[in-house]
Chain A
């Protein structure tokens, strides 16, 4: 089946289902030849097949379906009566369609299935004069039983020659036996006769008078190819398209997901209780439970996953039509079509995404004349990108158009009364850009019929936030605009950071979390500064506004030792630091709705039950940001203005800088880093020739970057700085000497001087820094890392153990 496009596969599945229905309908129709409903249903099925096959360039299939459709449309309109011969002709048509579908499934093409005869039969049936000979032949065929459909059909054309059918009966019968044994069609290139594809059962029961049995024979997938026993053996290996998928009610999946969510919660609880026990058997059992629950959760989630292409596939048309209408020349590029996300979420982002695309075409990309005048290529490029990034799906709609001018936005907002002229002077470009999401804002100078259809950017934003996602806008005047959606993978279960404030625990969805900063009392007093009555923290040179959660909640903080723990959160393209009392851990939480009374407070997006059974509120980061950052002071804005314009100029990648000893520095793309940890070196153990460490209930293979890259590091240190990289349930730890910084690695000054394990080097922060080949480093630690996990883990690297001496390192 590989090699088949998704679209073809879908077509096959759908057509198989439809054909089964068609057989039933046709037979039932004989009982009630005037049933318009049935005729219409049959007509629709054939019409769909015709349309799709034409689209997919299956010409013979289209030809048959076309003639069949003509016949059906005349039957439906009452221009023709349904005679047994016509029914036979239609059944013959369904059989030949099946044969064609089987050939397509097996070989990807229509194979050698001949359709001319069927087309002729159908054409004959189209003629208004009922041929008495054909009628007679049908009756005769009915008496003959079994595979005589061929006879009926053929005699309709050839006026009942007797010898021929007899000769053909044998292969046809063999074919039907082969069918019973091997439901899956085997790829057979040569068809012996056209006769073979005719399914025996329905026609045998076709004569007008006898009662029609419900179609058990029809249900058996007719595999009309395969008359040769030899090839039939090859059949069972590949599951047919129709048998390999099953349609399931989405509600059922929702329910399943809900139950899995509950199971995950219970698992968390049990794992926590068992952590306090010493019973080895219990611990082992709970670890199995842990693994199975995770796998189950993943599988259940996968049942609901669909590639984003499902909604993207409609966009080329949208762009083309709009481009024509607006007389713009636009090329649409798509990257990451295969990125999967939850079906519900997919549905939810469909309209916002379409809106963003329309917006880009309408307002983003300039007219051809303007582009040429601006020295750009006359062809505008609209790029859709999607990828998975730290447990989220990132979808970008980027254009190389005129960009959004913050000044124009500001002026417009003042004009519309959304902000005052006074506050305008205090707003930086990034904040001005955010105004496009304000309700009642539309930048379109004139409301065209393209945009201005009652769906504004505010609705887009509300919709995206409604599913727990975020939207950001980046724009450079003259260079283009990029809208970036961040969407959780699934709605039901989200990874979250649990924190403590004033004695209560709260959950913060990881989607908004960027990093954690812990400052001891001494450092805090120096690093946390007051600017115009608001406290800020210098995070790598950038001023980070701080919001004290305790103040927001109106509770007294119970942290009195002067330590400051900051969760750096991102909301609407802005960053702020949420000061909490303590960070507890990260946990997968199941989101529960809270009553509208509590929702109206505007601080909580929901609640969840934690591992120990306690209820914790989920903080609504967007609302928190809005509430806390309402009045930002002007000088802070200026700082950020400088920074945003600096970073907006370059598509950038964030890099983790680490020293590996010998004065060498490597940069590791941050998006490949799952976690930073410290591990005591005496917890490192050996398995064979490899070093491992116990970590969160699993065995974590270690690669020492200094040795891997041939540097000479200091081996006798008490704690190891490790960078944990995890993917698909596997993790490896990369040991470095010291974590230095996280930088925006402008792709400047690259050099190709590479060495084993390196991708090259670049100048970052005035120093030559080596770019780590992460894949090679990971493979050095765990050669099987990129292999698919075996069906049931637990055999390879998981063993009973307690928490390794590691703790959450706060950078």
Chain B
């Protein structure tokens, strides 16, 4: 995958596609996001790592779906709540992330950026670059490369 220097470099301003997960707001670089899908049927993969939710059919292409709640060490999504699928394209390959719901595309400035809070625990800390302090809300910047690197 990518090196630390690459992933830790934050441009002055950037656009993040944001989404909600277990009450927190996260963002990924807009250029990584290919599309957002709702109500996809997911084929489970027995014996796969727990974060692999299964496989989805993206117009004939088979794409792995990662359960971001599991990746970030959050509790499982309550029964009956349908996840939203964010398809990201990394190194020419499509991978999808399961999140709770999708939010806006937000312009962020490096001025508002801060390293991840020390209180963040182990597994999540690795995947989160830091937080942007938006008005009234913290936006956690997700390191997509690491998030899909199950």
Contact = CB atoms under 8 A, between A and B. Distances in A.
A517 interface: no
Interface stretch (A33-41, A176-184, A529-537, A605-613): A605-613
Interface-centre pick from A262, A504, A615, A616 (highest chain B CB count, 10 A): A615
Nearest to B150: A597
* Closest 3 pairs between A and B when the two form their complex, measured CB to CB: A553-B46, A615-B43, A592-B62
A603 B47 contact: yes
A594 interface: yes
Contacts of B76: none
Contacts of A597: 48-49, 52, 64, 150
Contacts of B102: none
Interface-centre pick from B52, B61, B62, B64 (highest chain A CB count, 10 A): B62
A554 interface: yes
A608 B47 contact: no
A553 B60 contact: no
Contacts of A553: 46-47
B41 A614 contact: yes
Contacts of B48: 597-598, 601
A244 interface: no
Given A597-B150, A613-B57, A504 B43 contact: yes
Nearest to A505: B43
B44 A594 contact: no
Bin chain A's interface residue count: 20 to 34
A604 interface: yes
B64 A598 contact: yes
B64 A616 contact: no
Contacts of B52: 597-598
A502 B47 CA distance: 13
A555 B46 contact: yes
Contact of A615 (B46, B62, B95): B62
Interface string B42-66: 0111111100101111001110100
B95 A595 contact: yes
A614 B56 CA distance: 8
Interface-centre pick from B46, B56, B93 (highest chain A CB count, 10 A): B46
A609 B41 CA distance: 12
A351 B64 CA distance: 34
A607 B62 contact: yes
Contact of A598 (B41, B45, B56, B61): B45
Contacts of B47: 553-554, 601, 603
A608 B62 contact: yes
A617 interface: yes
B45 A595 contact: no
A196 B64 CA distance: 68
A616 B95 CA distance: 17
Interface-centre pick from A265, A592, A593 (highest chain B CB count, 10 A): A592
A597 B54 CA distance: 12
Contacts of B64: 594-595, 597-598
Interface string B90-132: 0001010000000000000000000000000000000000000
A594 B62 CA distance: 7
A593 B93 CA distance: 11
Contacts of B55: 594, 598, 607, 615, 617
Contacts of A595: 64, 93, 95
Contacts of A265: 60
Given A597-B52, A609-B60, 9 more contacts: A262-B60, A504-B43, A504-B46, A554-B46, A594-B55, A594-B64, A597-B48, A598-B45, A598-B55
Contacts of A608: 62
Contacts of A617: 43, 45, 55
Interface of A is mostly: mixed
Nearest to A606: B62
A504 B47 CA distance: 14
Interface of B is mostly: strand
Interface in A544-560: 553-555
A608 B44 CA distance: 13
Interface string B69-105: 0000000000000000000000001010000000000
Bin chain B's interface residue count: 20 to 34
Contacts of A603: 46-47
Contact of B45 (A502, A601, A609): A601
Contacts of A502: 46
Nearest to B42: A615
A806 B93 CA distance: 43
A615 B65 CA distance: 12
A555 B54 CA distance: 15
Interface string A563-601: 000000000000000000000000000001111011001
A482 to B, nearest CB: 36
Interface-centre pick from A266, A595, A601 (highest chain B CB count, 10 A): A595
B49 A615 contact: no
Contacts of A555: 46
Interface string B17-40: 000000000000000000000000
B141 to A, nearest CB: 24
Contacts of A601: 45, 47-48
A175 B51 CA distance: 76
A618 to B, nearest CB: 10
A612 to B, nearest CB: 10
Contact of B57 (A554, A598, A615): A615
A592 B56 CA distance: 12
A266 B41 CA distance: 18
16 contacts: A266-B60, A502-B46, A504-B43, A553-B47, A554-B46, A554-B47, A595-B64, A597-B48, A597-B49, A598-B48, A598-B64, A603-B47, A607-B43, A614-B43, A615-B55, A615-B57
B12 to A, nearest CB: 34
Nearest to A613: B57
B39 to A, nearest CB: 13
Nearest to A595: B64
A609 B57 contact: yes
B61 to A, nearest CB: 7
Nearest to A603: B47
B17 to A, nearest CB: 22
Nearest to A592: B62
B150 A615 contact: no
A601 B49 CA distance: 9
Nearest to B65: A615
Contact of A504 (B44, B57, B61, B150): B44
A592 B61 contact: yes
A597 B52 CA distance: 9
B60 A615 contact: no
Contacts of B46: 502, 504, 553-555, 603
A331 to B, nearest CB: 49
Contacts of A593: 62
A601 B48 CA distance: 7
Contacts of A616: 43
A607 to B, nearest CB: 4
Interface-centre pick from B56, B64, B95 (highest chain A CB count, 10 A): B64
A62 to B, nearest CB: 51
A597 B65 CA distance: 12
B95 to A, nearest CB: 7
B31 to A, nearest CB: 21
A601 B50 CA distance: 12
Interface-centre pick from A266, A502, A504, A598 (highest chain B CB count, 10 A): A598
B122 to A, nearest CB: 20
B54 to A, nearest CB: 8
A139 B46 CA distance: 83
Contacts of A604: 45
Given A597-B52, A609-B62, A614 B57 contact: yes
A577 B47 CA distance: 21
A608 B60 CA distance: 9
A266 B59 CA distance: 10
A262 B45 CA distance: 23
Contacts of B62: 592-594, 607-609, 615
Contacts of A262: 60
